[in-house]
Every structure is written in structure tokens, then in C-alpha cells.
């Protein structure tokens, strides 16, 4: 197996910052995973598995262990009936290509998650979500290699600890499971409203009333392309902060001070706020920060862009300016979405 030495991690994060990996190798099939882990253990160095690096910020110090880049490919329909199809996808498949493939087959369920960068294996890690949908809505099970038992296995969706942008793979069992595949169930019926506000507005503005998964995918792709920078061209990690959740009392007092603040009630009685609004209100929409070489995207303040930053320290210093200002104005602490590694 080709294990490279001293590789710049800038090429393994869409933010294009960070130090070097001491070792780096690509895994092309499931069985490469235990072989590479064994190699790292033999060298007495840590390992980690990544996909496309679209949700990773690497520290300037780099990583003294082995980075395993997931390239395991394959997808197939396991079974189908009149109403639905169950699909097995290897974890190295590019997520948006998978969405496109299911939409071509007139299947519905994940079209709302169109154009989210990255690999299929990373999707359960933060339970990717957009336009009111989450991967967990369609997920049946996750195929894994368990580093604790040194065995392949599977975990059913209800055991994955899914929540808003989280799962057991990100929290309690971080680093234990290498996701090798996912199994999802998709519908053969058309998507049914109500839809997320911006999607609903797009459909009505474009006078689209006949709904199917292709129409939704096209709408989501158009909305996203008009608002978000393409990480292949502009260095960014998408939304840099997650939406905060607060209790009703907190929301009421915030509303008194800022009548225009928007909040969405959640099932657990809390209120979800738009982190983008907080960042904008703190004066950070479309800001270019000469000191750090960082900026925020003009049409989506949550997206931090690396214009000419030299180090991850620059990025973190810019991030801190935003966090501090939001804290000062609203008394809320923004949480970073992309993971700072190692």
C-alpha cells in the first residue's frame, strides 16, 4: 500500500490551511482499513479517517500520525417494491453524485441534501442536513469497521445517536468507528410540502407546482449556488457556526431588544436561532479582514472564506472576533461547525 510521508494537509481541507501529516494513505476497499490501522499501530502512531476535508480545519502543528483518505467506491439497489427502494452506498462515494444518481432513478428523500460537498461516509458523522431534511430521515444503517473489536459490522439508525448536526460518531464514539457504507431507504412517491421557507419561495417564484425529486434537486442546487461559494474555487468550509438553540424565556428577552430576530420552535420546546442573522447583526456580513486574510461571504455571513490567510491561527483569530462580538451583543456563544483537527 502506498503510504506517503510529510504531506501538506492544506490539500485535505477545503479551507486550505494547516500543517503536514507525517503519513498519509488512500483506502480503496474496505479491507484496506484494517491493514492501514494495523500499520499505524505497528508504528505506534495515531490514525484518523477523512473524506474530502470539507468539514475539517487542520491545526498549523499538523498531525504526527497516519491520515487515511477514504476512496472506497460502489453503490447498488439492494431491493425495491412499488413504493420504495433500499440502497447500499460505499462510504468513499461523493455524496452529491449519489444524490444525482438516486434522482435520476426518480427516487425521493435525499434530494434536499443536494450539493452538500464531501463523501457519503462523512454524512452520518454530523447527520448532514439542509432545507429541513437530515440524512437520518432516510438512513437504515451504517456499515462500520470497529477499531475496538477489530471487526466489520453495522449499526442501525436508531443506535447512531443522531441529532442536529451530530451523532455518536462525532461525540461519544469519536474515532472508534470507520464508516464503510450506508444503507438508505428512498421513496418512489413525489416529495410532499410543507417545504423549508426559501425552497417554498423559490418554487412559487418560479411557478413550479408539479413536484418530483428532480425539481427539488434543481431548486436546491440553484438556491445553494446563488448563495454559497464553491469550495473547489474559493477556500471555505461552508457554515462555520451551527445554529444556536435557546429556551423560550431567553428568546422572549432577545425579541424585546431585537424585534426582528427570527426563531423556530423545536420538538423539545427550545427555539432555534439563525446563526447567520446573529453574525450579520454583529456587523460581519461581507467583511474583509486585512489582519488575518479572512472574510465572510457577502450573500451568507456564516461562511468564512480564506482569501489570503497564511495559517489556521489567522482563521481562528478572525473566528474569535465574530464569536466575541456575538457574545457581547446577544450573550450567546457560537459553536464552530467544522472540526479542528487533530
Ligand X SMILES: Cc1cc2nc3c(=O)[nH]c(=O)nc-3n(C[C@H](O)[C@H](O)[C@H](O)COP(=O)(O)OP(=O)(O)OC[C@H]3O[C@@H](n4cnc5c(N)ncnc54)[C@H](O)[C@@H]3O)c2cc1C
Residues 178-197 that bind ligand X (CB under 6 A): 178-179
Separation between Cα atoms, residue 63 and residue 135, nearest integer Å? 30
- Of 148-156, 232-240, 273-281, 311-319, the window that binds ligand X (rule: CB under 6 A) is 232-240
62 backbone φψ class: left, alpha, beta (φ>0; ψ -120 to 50): left
Candidate ranges 148-156, 188-196, 236-244, 309-317; the one touching ligand X (CB under 6 A): 236-244
Q: Report the distance separating Cα 253 and Cα 104, nearest Å.
A: 48
The CB-of-96 to ligand X minimum distance in angstroms stands at 9
- Give the Cα separation of 295 and 240 in Å (integer): 12
Contact call for residue 14 and ligand X (CB under 6 A): yes
The span of 48-56, 59-67, 183-191, 273-281 binding ligand X (CB under 6 A) equals 48-56
Q: Which residues inside 241-270 make contact with ligand X, applying CB under 6 A?
A: none
The burial class, CB within 10 Å (0-12 / 13-18 / 19+), for 144 is buried
* Residue in 19, 62, 121, 244 binding ligand X, rule: CB under 6 A: 121
Q: Which of residues 69-88 bind ligand X (CB under 6 A)?
A: 70
Task: Report if residue 304 touches ligand X, rule: CB under 6 A.
Answer: no
At 217, phi and psi to the nearest 5? -60, -45
* Site membership for ligand X, residue 17 (CB under 6 A): no
Whether the CB-CB separation of 340 and 264 falls below 8 Å is answered with no
Rounded Cα distance between 5 and 8, Å, is 9
Q: Measured from the CB atom, is 155 or 254 closer to ligand X? A: 155
Is residue 105 classed as helix, strand or coil in its secondary structure?
coil
Cell, residue 12: 485535505
Secondary structure (3-state) at 241: strand
57 belongs to the binding site for ligand X (CB under 6 A):
no
Catalytic residue flag (residue 30): no
Task: List active site positions.
Answer: 165, 239, 337
State the residues that interact with ligand X by CB under 6 A.
14, 48-56, 70, 91, 116-119, 121-123, 125-126, 128-130, 169, 178-179, 228, 231, 236-238, 339
Amino acid at each position: 500500500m502506498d503510504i506517503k510521508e510529510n504531506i501538506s494537509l492544506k490539500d485535505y481541507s477545503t479551507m486550505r490551511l494547516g500543517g503536514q501529516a507525517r503519513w498519509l494513505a488512500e483506502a480503496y476497499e474496505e479491507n484496506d482499513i484494517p491493514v492501514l490501522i494495523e500499520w499505524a499501530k505497528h508504528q505506534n502512531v495515531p490514525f484518523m479517517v477523512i473524506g474530502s476535508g470539507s468539514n475539517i480545519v487542520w491545526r498549523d502543528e499538523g498531525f504526527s500520525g497516519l491520515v487515511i483518505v477514504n476512496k472506497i467506491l460502489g453503490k447498488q439497489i439492494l431491493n425495491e417494491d412499488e413504493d420504495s427502494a433500499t440502497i447500499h452506498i460505499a462510504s468513499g462515494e461523493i455524496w452529491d453524485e449519489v444524490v444525482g444518481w438516486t434522482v435520476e432513478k426518480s427516487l425521493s428523500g435525499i434530494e434536499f441534501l443536494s450539493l452538500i460537498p464531501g463523501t457519503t461516509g462523512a454524512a452520518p458523522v454530523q447527520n448532514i442536513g439542509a432545507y429541513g431534511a437530515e440524512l437520518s430521515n432516510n438512513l437504515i444503517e451504517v456499515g462500520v469497521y470497529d477499531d475496538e473489536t477489530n471487526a466489520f459490522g453495522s449499526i442501525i439508525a436508531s443506535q447512531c445517536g443522531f441529532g442536529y448536526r451530530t451523532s455518536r460518531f462525532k461525540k461519544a464514539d469519536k474515532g472508534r468507528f470507520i464508516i464503510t457504507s450506508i444503507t438508505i431507504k428512498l421513496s418512489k412517491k413525489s416529495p410532499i410540502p410543507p417545504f423549508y421557507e426559501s425552497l417554498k419561495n423559490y418554487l412559487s417564484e418560479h411557478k413550479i407546482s408539479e413536484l418530483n425529486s428532480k425539481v427539488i434537486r434543481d431548486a436546491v442546487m440553484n438556491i445553494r449556488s446563488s448563495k454559497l461559494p464553491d469550495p473547489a474555487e474559493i477556500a471555505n468550509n461552508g457554515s462555520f457556526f451551527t445554529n444556536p438553540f435557546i429556551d423560550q424565556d431567553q428568546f422572549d428577552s432577545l425579541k424585546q431588544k431585537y424585534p426582528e430576530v427570527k426563531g423556530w420552535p423545536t420538538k423539545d420546546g427550545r427555539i432555534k436561532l439563525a446563526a447567520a442573522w446573529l453574525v450579520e447583526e454583529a456587523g460581519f456580513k461581507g467583511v474583509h479582514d486585512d489582519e488575518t486574510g479572512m472574510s465572510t461571504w457577502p450573500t451568507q455571513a456564516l461562511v468564512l472564506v480564506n482569501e489570503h490567510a497564511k495559517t489556521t491561527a489567522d482563521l481562528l483569530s478572525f473566528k474569535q472576533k465574530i464569536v466575541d462580538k456575538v457574545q457581547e451583543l446577544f450573550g450567546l456563544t457560537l459553536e464552530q461547525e467544522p472540526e479542528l483537527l487533530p
